[in-house]
Amino acid sequence: MFKLHSNRCTECQICQQICSWEHYGHHAPKRARIRINADWPKSPDIHVCLACPERECIEACPNQALSWEGWVHVDKELCDSCGVCIEVCPAGGIHLDPKTMIPLVCDTCGGQYLCVKWCPTHAIELKGVPDHE
């Protein structure tokens, strides 16, 4: 789904801002489905669901709260916030919403891929699509 270029990331966090605006209508980067972790002088780490073919998070969920719908969908009624999906995610692309304690997983903004569209340095791109405009 995504190709990440951490060496291009400037830590501007536009991706986190646009994600939170899309999902909550206000600035809430801690609730974004993409995370930028910085440890200067190293390149930042970009953490987002990469839609890996193994889908370990779905297999590991003890409540069958996760399913594949072109992205990992979280059934809020079935989820008990156990965090197993977070532990098994090889990309570190899942974290708990600090307000609801439900896992946050990239849903592609309904296919809009807003983080890709708004990233000024192209640190996050669609896999196999060199020019995403």
Query: Hey, how many other C-beta atoms are within 10 angstroms of the C-beta on 74?
Result: 21
Q: List CB contacts of 58: < 8 A, sequence separation 6 or more.
A: 66, 67, 68, 72, 85
Does the pTM exceed 0.85?
yes
Choose between 15 and 39: higher pLDDT: 15
| Residue burial 18-32, b: 16+ Cβ < 10 Å; e: rest | bbbbbbeeeebbebb
pLDDT at position 128, please?
66
Average pLDDT, the chain: 93
Any idea how long the chain is?
133
Q: How many CA atoms, within 13 angstroms, populate the side-chain half-sphere of residue 1?
A: 21
Domains detected in the chain: 1-48+106-133 (3.30.70), 52-91 (no CATH)
Rounded mean pLDDT, 67-83: 96
Chain segment 4-38, per-residue pLDDT in tens:
999 999 999 999 999 999 999 999 999 999 999 98
